[in-house]
Amino acid sequence: MITFPTAPDVRTTPEGLLWEPSARWVRGRKGNIPVVDSRHPVLVWEPRVPVPLYAFPREEVREDLLRPAKHPLTGTHTGSRIFYDLEVDGELLENAAWTFPADDLAGHIAFEWFRRVGRGLDHWYEEEEEIFIHPRDPHKRVDAIPSRRHVRVEIDGTVVADTHHPVLLFETGLPTRYYMPREDVRMELFEPTRHSTGCPYKGTAAYWSWRGEAGVPDTPPNIVWSYPEPLPAVGAVKDLLAFYNEAVDITVDGDRLERPVTPFTRTLPERSPG
């Protein structure tokens, strides 16, 4: 008889939060100071927020480092009841932690992640692996698969990349990204920038902006990115280059793809896809 794993224990609160227990050992630090050490974390999804966060039982949090917030951020984090400032080595980090109003999550405290919002704890670990930006979603999958598809990229009619050796990256909730060998990209049309982003699934990306021969004013900055040291799960994209589907024209095996609408579309002039 074949048996299957039971469905994840996802629960809904009256406030619209989704949450489920996690079996991962999660630790958080501010610098070298341990603040969270939890073997019983829960993952929480807030309404209209595409990525989860962790909340932890109070007994697995250094509550001695928390102070009632002097200037609580009302209206954030789905009606949070209480905000805390975090004091570490004489440094006060405002609104670094909070509690949710849901009865299901009573007795739990959540923390901001510095590399996501610019405040909060700056080092996080699941088991012995450091993670960045936000927790990895157990319901999300990321696959990097080598391919022989013919992929061509154009910007304002100029062919900037053409390859028969892409790696296709399939990520739940996002359009397929086409990573191409550097020799198949006209690198003379781009210039490196100081911009970088972190991804809990892929690693830290470096970026290039379009400069072209005459320039295209409507092309956003940081339109090309690469992972020089990707995480092992997507090692196939190492040093390959991908383009912002939302802002370029991509043709795959002779078919022109429609430009997708994603959470990044509305911020195209301001930021990159991460």
pLDDT tens digits, one per residue of 124-171: 999 999 998 899 999 999 999 999 999 999 998 999 999 999 999 999
pLDDT of 46-86, one tens digit each?
988 888 999 999 999 999 999 999 998 877 888 777 999 99
Which pLDDT belongs to residue 121?
Answer: 95
Same domain for 146 and 263?
A: yes
Same domain for 149 and 257?
A: yes
CATH number at residue 115: 2.170.150.40
Closest CA relative to residue 61, chosen from 102, 98, 113: 98
Same domain for 62 and 99?
A: yes
Read off the tokens for 178. 């086409």
Read off the tokens for 145. 């698969």
Asked if the structure places residue 273 within a domain, the reply is no
Same domain for 25 and 78?
A: yes
Whole-number percent of the chain with pLDDT over 90: 70
Same domain for 125 and 173?
A: no
Same domain for 98 and 59?
A: yes
Which of 81, 100, 131 is where one domain is finished? 131
Q: Tokens 């949710």: give the residue.
A: 100
Asked if the structure places residue 173 within a domain, the reply is yes
Number of structural domains (the chain) is 2
Whether 180 contacts 241, CB under 8 Å: yes
Write out the residue range of the structural domain in which residue 200 sits: 142-267
The pTM of the full predicted model, rounded to 2 decimals, is 0.81
d(CA 153, CA 168): 14
Same domain for 150 and 121?
A: no
Read off the tokens for 240. 């390959």
Closest CA relative to residue 61, chosen from 96, 91, 93, 102: 96
Asked if the structure places residue 1 within a domain, the reply is no
pLDDT class for 3, splitting at 50, 70, 90?
A: very low
d(CA 191, CA 215): 12
For 130, how many CA atoms within 13 A lie in the half-sphere containing its CB?
10
Same domain for 91 and 125?
A: yes
pLDDT of 168-199, one tens digit each?
999 998 999 999 999 999 999 999 999 998 89
Which pLDDT belongs to residue 50?
Answer: 83
Q: Is 5's pLDDT higher than 80?
A: no
Stretch 232-253: mean pLDDT: 95
